[in-house]
Amino acid sequence: MIENKIELFDTFAKNLESVNGTCYKTSKNDLAETLVNIYKDNGIESTCMLETELAKEAGVVEAFRKNDITVYTDHIRLNSETAKGGITEVAYGVAELGSVVQASDEVDARLMAIMPDYYIGIVKGSTIVESYDDMFDKLSELKPFPKYVGFITGPSRTADIECVSTVGVHGPLQMSIVIVTDL
């Protein structure tokens, strides 16, 4: 049993990193700067994202543009194949395996999580639960139930018949999750 939020966030980060994802913790006020730094550190010059209320309040689009990072907030289907990054705000996090959960009717959110080479999920700290059992309890309470629910755990991995593992065939090569700790 996880006793507090810090332990919950640390468990989430440790389990995400065990499947080759990276985890960042930030405040709402520092979210835009954190995302810009991730993009600069990884040489990513373009991204697709839905401009959620959180992204608007944090000034994410403006921060990207100010730092010469191309950001597409519409025509996602046209731009998701060529943009190097994709950002979505996810509904939940599951500490047990470092997974995030998309629960949405928005098709573009799915595309941004699988098409670009680098995927970033933004999760509010208050929506991280300890276990899959807790997550399914949360999902069962959703009314109406969303058209799409997807569990995302680390970068895309697959293997051929000879068990040769390959990353990025059916989704992103890299994945990061940003926990907004004060929400």
Fold of 2-181: Rossmann fold (3.40.50)
- Which of 15-24, 83-92, 106-115, 134-143 is predicted least confidently? 106-115
Could you tell me which residues are beta bridge partners of residue 159? 165
Q: Give 112's pLDDT tier (boundaries 50, 70, 90).
A: confident
* Tens-place pLDDT, residues 11-48: 999 999 999 999 999 999 999 999 999 999 999 999 99
Q: In the chain, where are the structural domains located?
A: 2-181
Residues 149, 143: Cα–Cα separation, whole Å: 13
Residue 35, amino acid: L
For the record, the structure tokens of 140 come out as: 């069962």
The dihedral through the CA atoms of 88, 178, 174, 18 has a sign that is: negative
* Tens-place pLDDT, residues 153-164: 876 556 556 666
